[in-house]
Amino acid sequence: MNIPVSDLEKVASTARQVAAEAAELVQRMRGEARLLDSKSSATDLVTEADQAAERLVRERLEQLRPGERVLGEELGGDTGTDGVSWVVDPIDGTVNFVHGYPHFAVSLGYQVDGVSVAGAIVEPLTGREWWAASGLGSWCDGAPLRVSAAEKLDLSLVATGFGYTAKRRAQQAAVVTGLLSRVADIRRSGSAAVDLCSVAAGWVDAYAEHGVNRWDYAAGEIIAREAGAVTRFPDHPEDDGLGPYLTVVAAPGIADALFDALREVGAGQVTEA
């Protein structure tokens, strides 16, 4: 996966440009976008803004990078991991968007053979822009990012999230209950993309969640990794006793301790359903 730096710079520039345009559209539609449907459960929502933003992303990518494959949360696409793919979540945190809670973002990642090599995340309300590319570092509004220097799990702040089905939420709640006595505290923003950026910025020391989809983390994966995080994603599961559905991103100083704690509290027993 040796991509010339000049090509990565062009890809990253496209990701930033298109994500910013989509975020501007989402911001304009805020408060006016109709709720269209729900997906896996009554709380897994889709709005007009989700679909409009994804259409815009697809149209702009076809103009700027014609012929490249696109996978999106709302409009689907080829789910294969061979070759090049753009992976888009037009609004990561749609429930927050619907309720007016400020943590949601447009996420646009660029993957080669299923591995993220560039990506951008833009928060419509603040205009805050996060981006990274392999070997080019991780950035927020022009400032370089670096994960925290945390070394003690019991003093660490860990972000998490919850799925949409009752069964999975109950299993996740049991894991979080066990984890609470092993960390300083737990945070829940409602957006995996925002959580991954928060690890990259050192605002939280780690993030762990079951059932995160490829579009949720395609951009955040490279942003966290280039900031120095230890990462584990469902597309690349290891025989580590944590099961196939768990995403973990952590500062290096606490990564091993967090993995051990997650095993001890039964994280590997959480099912896909």
Q: Which residues are catalytic?
A: 73, 89, 91-92, 94, 216
User: Both tokens of residue 249?
Assistant: 């991103």
∠ Cα 216 90 35 (to 5°): 110
Which residue, among 46, 196, 24, 53, has the nearest Cα to 116 in the 3D structure? 196
Query: How many angstroms separate the CA atoms of 177 and 183, rounded?
Result: 11
Which residue, among 263, 256, 261, has the nearest Cα to 151 in the 3D structure? 256
Which residue, among 226, 193, 210, has the nearest Cα to 73 in the 3D structure? 193
User: Both tokens of residue 165?
Assistant: 């089905």
User: Both tokens of residue 144?
Assistant: 């370089």
Q: How far does Cα 116 stand from its chain's mean position?
A: 11
- Write phi, then psi, for 67 (nearest 5 degrees): 90, -10
